[in-house]
Homo-oligomer: A and B are copies of this chain.
Amino acid sequence: MPDTRRRGDDLVRAIYSSALAELAESSFEELSFEKIALRARTGKAALYRRWSTTADLVLDALTDPAAGFGETRPPRTGSLRGDLMVLLGGFAWILDEPHGRALVQLITQRQRHPALFERVRELVFRPRQELIQELLGKAGTARLAAVGPRLVLVAHIESGPVSEAEVEAIVDEVLLPLVG
């Protein structure tokens, strides 16, 4: 039975994954090295050797490209409506993924962990907002470009997973009328 003990990056990625999964299921306040180590089936020592707080660990986990927040490319479907649907639909989808639910837990941490919150904003909100602002052209102020992602986010917080139909409604009833 070879390869029964993970090392290095292999182990680190497993830890990241466990941390985000744990975060998605509970809350940042309830995160602990103990639970993360248990879920990753490793010892706490391996964690303390690398990080000194759960905030540091989560910060690294978010930054890791493998987490899936990396690139957000412009859709180019041909129509503004199509592009908005792809961008916001993708956002809604991510929010329901494990690592996306971890993100949702972090948005309430602005005051207590500014660095963590800022990282979330950089990884999730800013790239989408910038893309949308480009799509909207000269009509798109920063505030207007933020409306779509923000509405999707609150919809998710209030009612859970945001359906395609809901995204459609946001695009058709709010965003398009505003720029048309």
- Chain B residues near A177: list those with CB within 8 A: 177-178
Taken residue by residue from 147 to 171, chain A's Cβ proximity to chain B (1 for < 8 Å, 0 otherwise) reads as: 1001101110110100000000110
Q: Mark A34-51, 1 if CB is under 8 A from B, else 0.
A: 000000000000000000
A107-147 residues with Cβ-Cβ distance < 8 A to B are 107-108, 110-111, 121, 125, 141, 143-144, 147
Residues of B within 8 A of A154 (CB): 150, 153-154
Residue in B157, B170, B178 whose beta carbon sits within 8 Å of that of A108 in the complex: B157
Q: Which residues of chain B are near A174, meaning CB under 8 Å? A: 143-144, 147, 174, 178
Give every chain B residue within 8 A of A27 (Cβ-Cβ): 27, 29, 108
User: Chain A: residues with CB nearer than 8 A to chain B?
Assistant: 26-27, 29-30, 104-105, 107-108, 110-111, 121, 125, 141, 143-144, 147, 150-151, 153-155, 157-158, 160, 169-170, 173-174, 177-178
15 A-B pairs (CB sep. < 8 Å): A104-B108, A105-B108, A107-B157, A107-B158, A108-B108, A110-B158, A143-B169, A143-B170, A144-B173, A144-B174, A147-B147, A147-B151, A150-B150, A151-B151, A174-B178
3 residue pairs, one from A and one from B, having the closest CB atoms: A150-B154, A29-B29, A27-B29
